[in-house]
Structure 1
Amino acid sequence: MVDTEYARVDDPDEVRRLAGFSPYHLVRDGVDYPATFIVAGDTDPRCPPWHARKFAARLQAATSGDAPVLLHIWRDSGHGWATDKEVLLTQETEWLAFLAKTLGMTPPR
């Protein structure tokens, strides 16, 4: 038996099961997807930025609506604690601003 984290790649049933929860493989053409904001770090060894690029491109091509599908690849940014605190603050601010705009929220005056 091959010990793997998610599935045995030599077992077709396990490969199908794994693909069943892959966001990329679950995208369907012609669906009106909501506004989506995808982020990745260019130096992230666990989640390489090409995964985010490929997913964003697939979602942009598949959606039937006009909601934005945005992608931001952060320079010199890794995974979690590998990212500088100032960069983390900027990242958090950016996705919160995207969420607020998408939901039509405006700051109090």
Structure 2
Amino acid sequence: MPITQRPDLFRVGLPLVPLTDMIRYPGSGSGQTWIPEYGSAAVPSQFAALFAYSPYHHVQPGAAYPSVLALSADSDDRVDPMHARKFVAALQSASSGGPVLLSTQRNAGHRGADAIKRWVEDEADAYAFTLSEMGVP
């Protein structure tokens, strides 16, 4: 995730149902089915590759991370919401930058509820957060 790789390049991050713990991802949601694509932390060479880009494992204390609004869903069966929760908690604890917030849709799956009203509200929140953090009135 670019905001942990190069936080200096961004003012705002909007992780959308993010997969952030690349070491433990097989233990939740659909994680087991992704091993052929991503690899397994049980294989030493694959562990090294997974760890090298695992956003959760690269949160550094005191870093000036961009403002973040992570978007998740409490009933996501693809990417367990624990990824967003853990990542936001780590950023909140470590960051010396802007606010780090989590918005979790209730009774929603991967990428939210089917209701267009809820989708519009989420998009409006993301735009409002982004524009506010960029200083746009």
Alignment TM-score, normalising by the size of structure 2: 0.68
Give the equivalent residue in structure 1 for 2:101: 70
Code of the residue aligned with 1:85 in structure 2: it is I
Question: Of the two structures, which has the highest relative contact order with CA contacts closer than 8 Å and spacing of 6 or more?
Answer: 2
Q: How has the CA–CA distance of structure 1 residues 28 and 75 changed in structure 2, closer, same or farther, with 3 Å as cutoff? A: same
Given that residues 31 and 63 in structure 1 are in contact (C-alpha distance below 8 angstroms), is that contact kept between their aligned partners in structure 2?
A: yes
Give the equivalent residue in structure 2 for 1:25: 57
Count of aligned pairs between the two proteins: 103
**1:41-74 residue CA offsets vs partner (Å, 9 max, x unmatched):** 1111111111111100000111123x10011111
1:22 Cα deviation from its structure 2 partner:
1.5
Where 1:4 maps in the other structure, the secondary structure is helix
Where 2:37 maps in the other structure, the secondary structure is coil
Code of the residue aligned with 2:126 in structure 1: it is W
RMSD: 1.7
Structure 2 unaligned segments of length 5 or more: list them: 1-34
Return the match for 1:98 from 103, 124, 129.
129
Alignment TM-score, normalising by the size of structure 1: 0.84
Structure 1 unaligned segments of length 5 or more: list them: none
Give the equivalent residue in structure 1 for 2:83: 51
1:8 Cα deviation from its structure 2 partner:
3.1
* Structure exhibiting the larger radius of gyration computed from Cα positions: 1
Where in structure 1 do 4 or more consecutive aligned residues deviate above 4 Å? none
Identity of aligned residues (%): 38
The CA distance in 1 between the partners of 2:40 and 2:89, in whole Å, is: 28
